[in-house]
Every structure is written in C-alpha cells, then in structure tokens.
C-alpha cells in the first residue's frame, strides 16, 4: 500500500494538500485541540502552609494533572475512534492514497502496517507535527 512515506515527491505535495483540508475538518469535528487544553483545578499554596503541607499539596496537584491527562486522552480517543470514526478513517485513507469512499476495500491489517510505516518516518511525522501547529491558526473555531 502506498503511503506518504513511500510516494513520489509530486504525489506527496498533492496528497498532503488534500490531507491538510481533511485535518482541518477533523480537528473541528473532534475538538481535539480543546480537549487537550482541559486542566484540573489545582490547589494554590498559602503563606501559612508548612513545607510538608506544600509538598502534600504539590503531590495532589501532580496526581490531579495526571488524572486529567488520562481523561483527556480517553476523550480524544473517543472522539477520534468512535464519535468521528468516519473523519479519522478519511485521514488514514488519504495517508494511504486510498479514496475515502473506498476505505473499506482494504483490510485493517494493511492500514495498521501503513500507519506503523508513517509514524516511523521522521519526515512524515514532522509534516503532521507542523500541520497540527499551523492548521488551528487558520481556523477561527479552534
């Protein structure tokens, strides 16, 4: 299966533009960027706190942050894999040069292999990293 990691440069440019447009829709639909921003309520130290009380508070704040991160990851996975599975599959199909209308014409094993190839290619990962940073600037709703 052809992917962004194995295509010709001219194919890469055209396909990444299609992917850019799909990513914009995906980010809006899944609300991933806002889910990532969710933070827990943190305790604020007071002047009267002892060192032990401050340390205990810092530990509680750290645990609250870790728990919020788990909740955020779960919410992002729910959004991407369940609530907006079609949009996620469209992105995966485009990364594999498959027309999104034909996404079900290939076994999931081919997509998983292709996904593994994509995430292990530094250039492709760099492209998606820059895309995530750039797309929200163009999107007033995100």
With respect to residue 22, please indicate whether it lies within any of the assigned structural domains: yes
Question: Cα(104)–Cα(66) distance, rounded to whole angstroms?
Answer: 37
With respect to residue 46, please indicate whether it lies within any of the assigned structural domains: yes
At residue 135, the pLDDT reads 53
Mean pLDDT within 44-62 = 96
pLDDT per position as a tens digit, 63-104: 999 999 999 999 999 999 999 999 999 999 999 999 999 999
With respect to residue 4, please indicate whether it lies within any of the assigned structural domains: no
CA 109: distance to chain centroid? 21
Is residue 22 very low, low, confident or very high in pLDDT (cuts 50, 70, 90)? very high
With respect to residue 23, please indicate whether it lies within any of the assigned structural domains: yes
With respect to residue 69, please indicate whether it lies within any of the assigned structural domains: yes
Domain count, the chain: 1
- Judge residue 107's burial from the number of C-beta atoms within 10 Å of its C-beta, 0-12 exposed, 13-18 middle, 19 or more buried: exposed
Question: Cα(36)–Cα(72) distance, rounded to whole angstroms?
Answer: 6
With respect to residue 2, please indicate whether it lies within any of the assigned structural domains: no
Note down the domain range covering 43: 9-138
With respect to residue 83, please indicate whether it lies within any of the assigned structural domains: yes
More confident residue, 124 or 106: 106
């Amino acid at each position: 299966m052809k992917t962004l990691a194995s295509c010709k440069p001219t194919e890469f440019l055209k396909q990444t533009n299609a992917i850019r447009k799909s990513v914009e829709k995906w980010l809006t639909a899944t609300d991933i960027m806002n889910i990532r921003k969710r933070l827990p309520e943190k305790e604020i130290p007071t002047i009267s706190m002892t060192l032990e009380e401050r340390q205990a508070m810092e530990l509680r704040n750290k645990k609250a942050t870790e728990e919020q991160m788990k909740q955020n990851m779960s919410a992002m996975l729910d959004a991407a894999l369940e609530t907006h599975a079609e949009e996620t599959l469209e992105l995966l199909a485009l990364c594999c040069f498959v027309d999104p209308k034909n996404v079900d014409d290939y076994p999931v094993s081919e997509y998983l292999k292709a996904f593994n190839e994509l995430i292990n290619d530094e250039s492709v990962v760099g492209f998606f990293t820059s895309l995530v940073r750039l797309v929200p600037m163009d999107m007033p709703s995100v």
